[in-house]
Amino acid sequence: MEQARSRRAQGSAESSAESDGAPVCRVPAQLGAGDGARERSAAPGSARGEHTHSETPIPGPRVDERPQRGEPSAAGQGAQDGRPVVQRASVRRQILDALRTALVAGELAPGEVYSAPALGERFGVSATPVREAMQQLALEGAVEVVPNRGFRVVVHGARELAELAEIRALVEVPVILRLARTVPAESWAELRPLADATVRAASSEGRVTYAESDRAFHRAVLALAGNEQLVRIAEDLHRRAQWPLVQGSAPRSRAELIADAAEHAALLDALAGQDLAAVQALVSKHFDGAS
């Protein structure tokens, strides 16, 4: 009886507030830790009709989607099961980065279909941030949507790689040649640590780390032009050029990566010396290697 009177009083107060013109704010209930666990443990195929049978799971970090305030940290659990825990901040961005890494590493195979619920189960999150990240990858040309199933990793061929190299050359070569005429030698010397990092990555740290350090070097070079849109477009083209080729094709060998990385140091030398012919030759050769 007391609860019923209380509810009637609350409803009367809300009606009175609305009639007085005062806005009434109704806050939806937050998703609790138990609800999140039930969502992750539910049948993955129940989300948007995506089928998950016969999928091979890929390695990935656990992601903590729980609210940060008033909730215990999941770091303890992550440490217990040996998997790293990703904090709530920018879950979608972290999932996107993890999926990009899996693509470069070949853990997401070209031609294979992966569902958001199954990948979410692997990362320890709901299907929503995975689906959002996959939509971004679809815009980047890495995957394509398969209705009622999920996302298929796009099969890239040598012709597509050559086309990307041509576009990169058209965009970047004129800019780098202009920078060679205007940027002082000491500015190029400041990029030497980035060039050295690509050599270390090529020698011992694998394709994924090399891909990241390679983009960082090229991004730093183009940033000297002071054109943020240029840097963003060139970064997108560069990333697309790093997606894996047709399934079964041999990835670039360590020797090829080391040779590619060595061109970064040679390019800095040519830029510092304002040797325009050497700069153009090195950049063109670099793009032909689809680095």
- Burial label for 140, CB within 10 Å (0-12, 13-18, 19+), is middle
3-class secondary-structure state, position 143: strand
| Whole-number pLDDT of residue 197 | 95
255: confidence class by pLDDT, cuts 50, 70, 90: confident
| Whole-number pLDDT of residue 56 | 53
Place of tokens 């890239």: 156
Q: Looking at residue 56, which CATH number applies to its domain? A: 1.10.10.10
Count of the separate structural domains present in the chain: 2
- Same domain flag for 147 and 178: no
Boundary residue ending a domain (100, 122, 153): 153
Q: Which helix (H) or strand (E) holds 85?
A: strand 85-86
Write down the H helix ranges in the chain: 2-19, 33-41, 75-81, 91-105, 116-123, 127-139, 158-182, 185-189, 192-200, 206-223, 228-241, 254-272, 276-288
71-95 residue pLDDT tens: 444 444 444 455 555 454 488 889 9
- Backbone φ and ψ of 78, nearest 5°: -60, -40
113: CB partners within 8 A, 6+ apart: 55, 146, 149, 150, 151, 152
**What mean pLDDT is predicted for residues 150-163?**
87
- Same domain flag for 88 and 114: yes
60-73 residue pLDDT tens: 554 544 444 444 44
- Same domain flag for 256 and 270: yes
Beta carbons of 107 and 58 less than 8 angstroms apart: yes
Question: Rounded CA gap, 110 and 103, in Å?
Answer: 9
- Same domain flag for 272 and 170: yes
17-36 residue pLDDT tens: 444 444 433 323 322 333 33
- Per the structure, the complete domain to which residue 280 belongs is given by 158-288
Beta carbons of 289 and 256 less than 8 angstroms apart: yes
* Residue 31 within any structural domain of the chain: no
42: confidence class by pLDDT, cuts 50, 70, 90: very low
259-270 residue pLDDT tens: 999 999 999 999
| Whole-number pLDDT of residue 95 | 92
In eight-state DSSP terms, residue 172 is H
179: confidence class by pLDDT, cuts 50, 70, 90: very high
Tell me which residue of 85, 65, 66, 67 sits closest to 75, measured CA to CA. 85
Q: Looking at residue 242, which CATH number applies to its domain? A: 1.20.120.530
3-class secondary-structure state, position 150: strand
